[in-house]
C-alpha cells in the first residue's frame, strides 16, 4: 500500500496523531505513521513507517502487544491484538505480528497468540483482509493472501502464500491451507486443503485444480498439467493416500509443485479434504 498523507490532511491538518486518540508514550510509533480519530495504542505496541490507522482502531491491550510493520492500512473499528479467546489464557504477554503492505479493512479482529501456541499470531506481507473478519489466536498467515469479508478463523490455522478465500467462510482450529489454493465463498473447512486446489462446500472438499490462479502467478503450462494430474490422483478413485503418492511419483512429470503436494500430504495432521 502506498499511503498519501494528503488524503487525510483535510481532517487532521499537519498532525500525524489526531488529538482525540490515546497513544501510550511507551508505544513505538514511527514519525511517518498516521493515527486518525479515536484510536487507542497500548504500551509496548509498535507502528511502522507510513502505516495508517483510520479511526476507532485499537492496537494492543493491557496484556497483549501488536507489532505492525511498514505501509499497513487499518480500517475503522478494527482491533489488533485483543486477548486470545481461549479458556487457558491467564493474562500472559503475547503478540500479533503484522508485516508490511497489508490492507486490513473495517471491523476486523486479530487476536494475540497464546503461550501454548508459540505466543504470536502472525500476518505476513501484501495481504488483503476484508471487512468483519476474525483471525483467532496463534494463526500463522503468509504473504499475498486475499481473505473475503465475514470469514472466521479458529485458533492455530495456517495459511500459506497466495491463497484466495471467498466471503463468509469458517475454518476449524488447526487446519492448514496450502499455497495457491482457492476456497469458494460460504465454505466450512474442517480438514487441510491441498496446495493448488479449489475447494468448496460444507464441509469443504477439493474439487479441482486452481489452474487460473497458477496461470496468473506465472507457472508454466507443463507444471500446471503435472500438478493437475497429481491432484486428480489424490482426490479421485479408491486409492489410499500412500497408494496415490506412489502413483503420482510414477505417473506425473517431476516438478516443484508436485513435490510441494507430496510433502503437504505427508505432513498433514488433520487429513486432506477430498
Per-residue pLDDT tens over the stretch 70-118: 999 999 999 999 999 999 999 999 999 999 999 999 999 999 999 999 9
**Sheet with 134-135, side-by-side order of all strands:** 22-23, 40-41, 58-59, 79-82, 109-111, 134-135, 152-153, 170-171, 188-189
Judged against a pLDDT cut of 70, whether residue 41 lies above it is answered with yes
**Considering 118, 133, 156, which residue would you say is the last residue of a domain?**
156
Task: Check whether residue 152 and residue 222 sit in a common domain.
Answer: no
Q: What is the pLDDT of residue 9?
A: 72
Query: 3-class SS at 26?
Result: coil
Catalytic entry in 56, 73, 101, 137: 137
- Kindly report the average pLDDT of the chain as a whole number: 95
Query: 3-class SS at 170?
Result: strand
Assigned domain for 54 exists: yes
Task: Check whether residue 221 and residue 124 sit in a common domain.
Answer: no
Task: Check whether residue 230 and residue 144 sit in a common domain.
Answer: no
Task: Check whether residue 150 and residue 243 sit in a common domain.
Answer: no
Chain-centroid distance, C-alpha 73: 15
Per-residue pLDDT tens over the stretch 193-248: 999 999 999 999 999 999 999 999 999 999 999 999 999 999 998 889 999 999 99
Task: Check whether residue 112 and residue 225 sit in a common domain.
Answer: no
Q: Higher-confidence residue: 217 or 13?
A: 217
Q: What is the pLDDT of residue 3?
A: 66
Residue closest to 123 by CA, chosen among 107, 105, 101 = 101
Assigned domain for 112 exists: yes
Assigned domain for 181 exists: no
Task: Check whether residue 224 and residue 147 sit in a common domain.
Answer: no
Task: Check whether residue 121 and residue 239 sit in a common domain.
Answer: no
Task: Check whether residue 41 and residue 136 sit in a common domain.
Answer: yes
**Considering 105, 135, 156, which residue would you say is the last residue of a domain?**
156
Catalytic entry in 125, 138, 161, 192: 138
Task: Check whether residue 10 and residue 92 sit in a common domain.
Answer: yes
Task: Check whether residue 141 and residue 248 sit in a common domain.
Answer: no
Assigned domain for 17 exists: yes
Angle value at C-alpha 128, between 7 and 214, nearest 5 degrees:
130
Query: CB-based contacts of 187: which residues, under 8 Å, 6+ apart?
Result: 166, 169, 170, 199, 200, 201, 202, 204
Read off the CATH number of the domain in which 234 is found. Answer: 1.20.1180.10
Assigned domain for 90 exists: yes
Distance CA 254, CA 5 (A): 49
Residue 224's φ and ψ, nearest 5 degrees, are: -60, -40
Per-residue pLDDT tens over the stretch 133-149: 999 999 999 999 999 99
The question of whether 49 is a catalytic residue gets the answer no
Query: Of 2-11, 35-44, 241-250, which range is least confident?
Result: 2-11
| pLDDT-based confidence at residue 160 (cuts at 50, 70, 90) | very high
Distance CA 96, CA 201 (A): 30
**Considering 156, 180, 199, which residue would you say is the last residue of a domain?**
156
Task: Check whether residue 131 and residue 243 sit in a common domain.
Answer: no
Read off the CATH number of the domain in which 74 is found. Answer: 2.160.10.10
Catalytic entry in 48, 77, 155, 166: 155
Average pLDDT over residues 46-73: 97
- Strands 79-82 and 109-111, bridge-based pairing: parallel
Assigned domain for 59 exists: yes
- DSSP state letter for 76: T
Q: What is the pLDDT of residue 237?
A: 82
**Residue-range definition of the domain harbouring residue 14:** 5-156
Is the pTM here over 0.85, yes or no?
yes
| pLDDT-based confidence at residue 8 (cuts at 50, 70, 90) | confident
In the chain, the number of structural domains is: 2
Assigned domain for 253 exists: yes
Assigned domain for 229 exists: yes
Query: 3-class SS at 50?
Result: coil
Task: Check whether residue 119 and residue 9 sit in a common domain.
Answer: yes
The question of whether 161 is a catalytic residue gets the answer no
Amino acid at each position: 500500500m502506498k499511503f498519501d498523507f494528503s488524503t487525510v490532511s483535510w481532517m487532521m491538518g499537519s498532525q500525524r496523531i489526531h488529538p482525540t486518540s490515546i497513544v501510550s508514550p511507551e508505544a513505538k510509533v514511527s514519525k511517518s505513521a498516521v493515527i486518525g480519530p479515536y484510536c487507542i495504542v497500548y504500551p509496548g505496541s509498535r507502528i511502522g513507517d507510513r502505516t495508517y490507522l483510520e479511526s476507532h482502531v485499537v492496537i494492543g491491550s493491557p496484556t497483549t502487544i501488536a507489532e505492525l510493520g511498514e505501509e499497513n492500512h487499518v480500517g475503522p473499528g478494527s482491533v489488533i491484538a485483543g486477548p486470545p479467546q481461549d479458556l487457558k489464557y491467564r493474562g500472559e504477554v503475547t503478540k500479533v505480528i503484522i508485516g508490511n503492505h497489508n490492507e486490513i479493512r473495517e471491523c476486523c479482529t486479530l487476536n494475540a497468540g497464546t503461550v501454548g501456541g508459540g505466543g504470536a499470531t502472525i500476518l505476513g506481507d501484501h495481504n488483503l483482509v476484508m471487512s468483519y473478519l476474525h483471525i483467532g489466536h496463534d494463526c500463522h498467515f503468509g504473504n499475498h493472501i486475499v481473505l473475503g469479508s465475514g470469514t472466521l478463523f479458529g485458533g492455530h490455522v495456517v495459511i500459506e502464500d497466495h491463497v484466495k478465500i471467498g466471503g463468509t467462510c469458517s475454518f476449524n482450529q488447526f487446519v492448514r491451507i496450502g499455497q495457491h489454493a482457492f476456497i469458494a465463498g460460504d465454505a466450512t473447512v474442517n480438514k487441510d486443503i491441498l496446495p493448488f486446489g479449489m475447494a468448496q462446500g460444507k464441509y469443504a472438499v477439493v474439487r479441482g485444480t486452481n489452474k487460473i490462479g497458477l496461470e496468473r502467478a506465472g507457472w508454466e503450462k507443463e507444471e500446471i498439467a503435472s500438478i493437475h494430474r497429481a491432484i486428480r490422483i489424490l482426490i479421485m478413485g479408491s486409492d489410499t493416500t500412500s497408494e496415490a503418492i506412489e502413483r503420482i511419483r510414477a505417473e506425473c512429470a517431476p516438478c516443484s509443485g508436485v513435490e510441494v503436494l507430496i510433502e503437504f500430504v505427508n505432513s498433514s495432521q488433520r487429513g486432506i479434504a477430498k
